[in-house]
């Protein structure tokens, strides 16, 4: 697997052994077959003193050590890596930042530290989408108070309000609306948050969106409105609610 003595000592937190190995010529940036260096391994294990030694020895402080430390809730290691130039704005191939993974794991103190370190407001995404899916109002408040764009669009132009609506998360949906989220923002397929809530049968969110002023007759690119979405999902109560608010029964224009 390519593990050497420095890797093993770093994992176990044997700082004096790490120091001795480096003094005797061990190279801190040598990687295992999986591409992990001693700094990666020490960061994942939360070995603060070892991380400090490796950084002093010139270990490359790229994206992966910070991501690993954030994922495992190693607060002081995260702080040390940031102080030594780790970039919190880089992402994994699937778009996750260290902040996003810390938020997903519920590591609130790491989340707060990463937010404090963000001077340009670029590390928060897709964290707000994750908070919206989890109905995590506390995390959403942290992010929104850090001036994250409430209407940021991820893949397919999906906003946090789309996510909260799809999952029926009324608490976060209400917080997003209070923060000024666009009610009728559209995905690439033309879906609004109301379409998402109606298709999933989330009546409380449907009511919330309508009360806030969402356009009940908005159509997708295929010409479907929220009532059609409720019908697709076989959500009778949702359809009844939409009809009570004046939803149209007919489709004027439908394309496939």
Could you give the number of structural domains in the chain?
1
- Alpha-carbon distance of 171 to 125, in angstroms, equals 20
47 within domain boundaries: no
Neighbours of 17 (CB within 10 A): 16
87 within domain boundaries: no
* Interval 103-136: pLDDT, tens: 889 898 998 888 877 655 555 557 889 889 888 8
**CATH, residue 204:** 1.25.40.20
The pLDDT of residue 39 is 98
The pLDDT of residue 190 is 97
Using only C-alpha atoms, the chain has a radius of gyration, in whole angstroms, of: 24
The pLDDT of residue 134 is 84
235 within domain boundaries: yes
The pLDDT of residue 121 is 54
Q: 155, 129 in Cβ contact below 8 A?
A: no
208 within domain boundaries: yes
68 within domain boundaries: no
Asked, as a colleague might, if the bond just before 126 is cis with ω within 30 of 0, I would say yes
Please choose, from the candidates 203, 108, 190, the residue with its C-alpha nearest in 3D space to the C-alpha of residue 156: 190
246 within domain boundaries: yes
Asked, as a colleague might, if the bond just before 187 is cis with ω within 30 of 0, I would say no
Quote the distance between the C-alpha of residue 88 and its chain's center.
Answer: 13
Low-confidence ranges of the chain (pLDDT < 70): 118-125, 250-256
51 within domain boundaries: no
250 within domain boundaries: yes
Give the domain range for residue 248.
124-256
The pLDDT of residue 95 is 73
């Amino acid at each position: 697997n390519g593990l050497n003595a420095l890797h093993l000592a770093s994992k176990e937190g044997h700082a004096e052994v790490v120091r001795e190995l480096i003094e005797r010529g061990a190279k801190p940036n040598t990687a295992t077959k999986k591409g992990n260096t001693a700094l990666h391994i020490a960061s994942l294990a939360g070995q603060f003193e070892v991380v400090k030694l490796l950084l002093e020895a010139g270990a490359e402080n790229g994206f992966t050590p910070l991501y690993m430390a954030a994922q495992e809730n190693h607060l002081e290691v995260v702080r040390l890596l940031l102080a030594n130039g780790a970039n919190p704005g880089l992402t994994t191939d699937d778009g996750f930042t260290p902040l996003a993974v810390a938020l997903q794991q519920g590591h609130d103190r790491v989340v707060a530290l990463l937010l404090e370190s963000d001077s340009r407001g670029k590390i928060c995404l897709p964290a707000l989408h994750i908070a919206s899916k989890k109905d995590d109002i506390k995390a959403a408040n942290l992010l929104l108070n850090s001036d994250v764009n409430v209407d940021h669009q991820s893949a397919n132009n999906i906003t946090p309000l789309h996510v909260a609506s799809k999952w029926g998360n009324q608490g976060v949906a209400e917080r997003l609306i209070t923060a000024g989220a666009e009610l009728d923002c559209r995905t690439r397929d033309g879906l609004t948050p109301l379409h998402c809530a109606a298709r999933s049968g989330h009546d409380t969110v449907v009511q919330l969106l309508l009360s806030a002023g969402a356009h009940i007759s908005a159509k997708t690119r295929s010409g479907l409105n929220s009532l059609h979405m409720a019908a697709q999902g076989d959500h009778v109560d949702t359809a009844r609610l939409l009809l009570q608010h004046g939803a149209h029964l007919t489709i004027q224009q439908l394309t496939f």
